[in-house]
Amino acid sequence: MDATNDSRLAGETVRLSRAAFVVGLVALGGAVAYGTAHPDQFFHSYLLAFMFWNGLTVGSLAVLMLQYLTGGAWGISIRRELEAATRTLPLTAVAFLPIAFGMHSLYEWTHADAVAHDEVLLKKAGYLNAPFFLFRAALAFAIWIAIAWALNRWSREQDSSADHRAVDRKLQLLSGGGLVAYALTTTWTAVDWVMSLEPHWFSTMYGVIYMAGQGLGALALATLAVVRLSKTRPVSEFLGGRHMHDLGKMMFAFTMFWAYVTFSQYLIVWSGNLPEEISWYLARFRGGWGWVGLAVLMLQFVLPFLLLLSRRANRDPRTLTLAAALVVLMRFIDLSWMILPAFSQGHFRIHPTDLTVPLALGGIWAGLYLRNLAGRPLLPVHDPGFEEALAHGRD
């Protein structure tokens, strides 16, 4: 089959990408102008924006490794979308810098006087201190970028060479080790960047909840992209009903997994009802935040669950798009529910910057993502499983 990208597609993608950059830069200008006057508020919103877009990026890396490891047609159908997202990692690494500068506005444990009067924070100071915090962030980004670089490079080698058995093996091997590294980095970054906003609180499930959420978001974004791209060549010649069904089932599984780990954490904290643990939920149930939590439950789990339950809905591009878009949106709401109550204990307070700053970072991210997507062939035709995946969709 002809795997070259449709020229109209390239033009459209570049136009879209430019538009996204413009939106992002304009919003960024506004946000920075506001931020110089109100740095605390700016950094609060910025953390949310960073966690959302970086989560999609790193989640894509994880799903990319998962599909190399397990094989199967579903992975081949979204590989290039996932790869495009992982190549935004240099951007999200740079996007971390404002957090490094805004640490003082975000994290109570950076205030020496607060730590000095707090027995628990004193005990944690060996871990929660600025130099170690920055080192861990740098290490996490170094690991992610190294993995993403290698996976993208080898995938390119696979595209261009006839004999790529050695490359296939390397891709699988790195994916195995890489997923172990992903689990550890995601856990410590989730603890560092978000959990430590409320430095007395702790939960062993926390890292798993982030992994589930990032995987879910990345899968939904890739599904959105591939269904949209299937309107033109070459994806139109590839993507079949069964591929969409597989993607729908994967999303279904991830949304159940997310609900499972989220609910388990809640049930255990609720039944223990210890003051140092339950406080996290009280801040997220009171003053109106409870409604947001309920919306997350209904729209990130119940509705996608029902939408993706039937075989016909999974194979209908419009229903699948709707479910995927809903999931991506709810990832943002879910992260808001996890992050923002930390800044306004017990009060429901959102600020316009909670929307504009994510939009600013998102515009730039989306612009880069689209450019990455258009820059390479959209189908990995030299993958050893490609022919089988192509036939799989035709049934």
* Interface residue list for another protein (CB under 8 A): 119-121, 123-124, 127, 176, 180, 183-184, 187, 191, 200, 202-208, 260-261, 264-265, 267-269, 271-272, 274, 276, 388, 394-395
Exposure pattern of 349-388 as b/e (b: 16+ CB <10 Å)? eebebbbbbbbbbbbbbbbbbbbbbbebebbbbbbeebee
Encoded tokens for 41: 């508020």
Residue closer to another protein, measured from CB, 181 or 355:
181
CB of 264 to another protein, least distance (A): 4
CB of 170 to another protein, least distance (A): 14
Residue closer to another protein, measured from CB, 40 or 388:
388
* Radius of gyration for the alpha carbons in the chain, expressed in angstroms and rounded: 21
Residue closer to another protein, measured from CB, 119 or 318:
119
Residue closer to another protein, measured from CB, 142 or 180:
180
CA dihedral 183→363→101→196, nearest 10 degrees, is: -40
Q: What are phi and psi of 52, to 5 degrees?
A: -70, -55
> Which residues 6+ apart lie within 8 Å of 173 measured at CB?
none
CB of 277 to another protein, least distance (A): 8
CB of 341 to another protein, least distance (A): 18
CB of 265 to another protein, least distance (A): 4
Which residue is associated with the tokens 């255990």?
268
Sign of CA dihedral 5, 10, 12, 13: positive
Residue closer to another protein, measured from CB, 36 or 273:
273
Alpha-carbon distance 44 to 309, whole Å? 37
Residue closer to another protein, measured from CB, 112 or 274:
274
Q: What are phi and psi of 259, to 5 degrees?
A: -65, -40
Identify whether the C-beta of residue 281 lies closer than 8 Å to the C-beta of residue 272. Answer: no
Q: What residue spans of 273-377 are helical by DSSP H?
A: 275-285, 289-296, 303-307, 311-315, 317-339, 353-374
CB of 135 to another protein, least distance (A): 16
CB of 195 to another protein, least distance (A): 9
Alpha-carbon distance 99 to 92, whole Å? 11
Residue closer to another protein, measured from CB, 2 or 37:
2
Encoded tokens for 238: 């590839």
DSSP assigned state of 395:
-
Residue closer to another protein, measured from CB, 253 or 326:
253
Alpha-carbon distance 227 to 312, whole Å? 16
Encoded tokens for 319: 């229903």
Which residue is associated with the tokens 């990345």?
218
Encoded tokens for 360: 């600013």
Residue closer to another protein, measured from CB, 187 or 321:
187
CB of 211 to another protein, least distance (A): 10
Nearest to 217 by CA among 86, 52, 4: 52
Residue closer to another protein, measured from CB, 31 or 390:
390
Encoded tokens for 300: 């990130």
CB of 272 to another protein, least distance (A): 5
Nearest to 338 by CA among 208, 220, 209, 251: 209
Alpha-carbon distance 58 to 89, whole Å? 8
